[in-house]
Amino acid sequence: MKKLAAPFVAEADRTPAVMAVLAWGEGLVEMIHRQQQEMGHLKDEVAVLKGENKRPVFKPSRMNEDAGNATGPDRTQNGRPARRPGSEKKSKTSQLKIDRDEVIEPAEPIPPGSRFKGYRDFVVQDLVIESRNTRYRLARWETPDGQTLIGQLPQAVRGGHFGPTLASYVLYQHHHCHVTQPLLCEQLREWGIDISSGQMNALLQVGKERFHSEKDGLLSRASA
């Protein structure tokens, strides 16, 4: 089995995650290569036991190697493909929604007469997880004829003290990611959510008949 060369990754794209994936891929290719060799040896041993000849061994061709070392209009001196004009890679973060801009000035004093040349943008993606507690103050009025008028809760939060985003997160983590109820309780409490085991069970079970019926319907159609 011919070994595959590692793909070229530009210096700007060599993040720890990318390099970890490349290392994992190289290890996987090496493991497959060793298995191919072992399978070949086993086939040779079986052939000998049957009185047959071993597989012929061919020396690797140097044509690809020579071609890889050749230089030309489509290759640089180090053998890597040269980029064509206008084929520069677009920024991977150019389409991201920017939530906050933070301007950082140089640490060194700026000499008088210096000209401002714009910004070099560096986008950092992050995740903000925090509790958000809303107190709904339902106004109460008494009419002249003795009736009481009171404000109504939004439809999304009626019937419970936990918002739709929290409930959706709990359902997703438990049913899709298989996170247990005790771990979910512990995680939410660490984030500042006051929730008991009984309330967690109610979030997952009470009033979720439609959710479970839709889930079971999807699973049945997928297995059909």
What are 56-84's pLDDT values in tens digits? Answer: 665 655 655 554 454 444 555 455 555 55
Q: State percent of the chain over pLDDT 70.
A: 68
Q: How many CB atoms within 10 Å of residue 202?
A: 15
Q: Greater confidence, 100 or 223?
A: 100
pTM: 0.46
Task: Determine the pLDDT at residue 160.
Answer: 85
Q: Greater confidence, 214 or 12?
A: 12
Q: Round to whole Å and give the CA distance between 17 and 126.
A: 15
What are 125-170's pLDDT values in tens digits? Answer: 888 888 999 999 999 999 999 999 999 999 888 878 999 889 989 9
Q: State percent of the chain over pLDDT 90.
A: 32
**Neighbouring C-alpha atoms within 13 Å toward the C-beta of 90:** 5
Token pair belonging to 207: 């009033």
Q: Round to whole Å and give the CA distance between 159 and 42.
A: 67
Mean pLDDT for the stretch of residues 91-97? 75
Res. 49: pLDDT tops 80: no
For 174, the 3-state DSSP assignment is: helix
Task: Determine the pLDDT at residue 118.
Answer: 92
Q: Round to whole Å and give the CA distance between 161 and 176.
A: 23
Q: What is the DSSP secondary structure assignment for residue 72, as one 8-state letter?
A: B
Task: Determine the pLDDT at residue 206.
Answer: 78
How many distinct helices (H) and strands (E) make up the chain?
6, 2
- Amino acid at residue number 35: Q
Q: Round to whole Å and give the CA distance between 224 and 219.
A: 9
Handedness of CA 157, 159, 162, 165 (dihedral sign): negative
Range list of H helices, 172-208: 181-190, 197-205
Task: Determine the pLDDT at residue 215.
Answer: 53
What are 112-128's pLDDT values in tens digits? Answer: 999 999 999 988 888 88
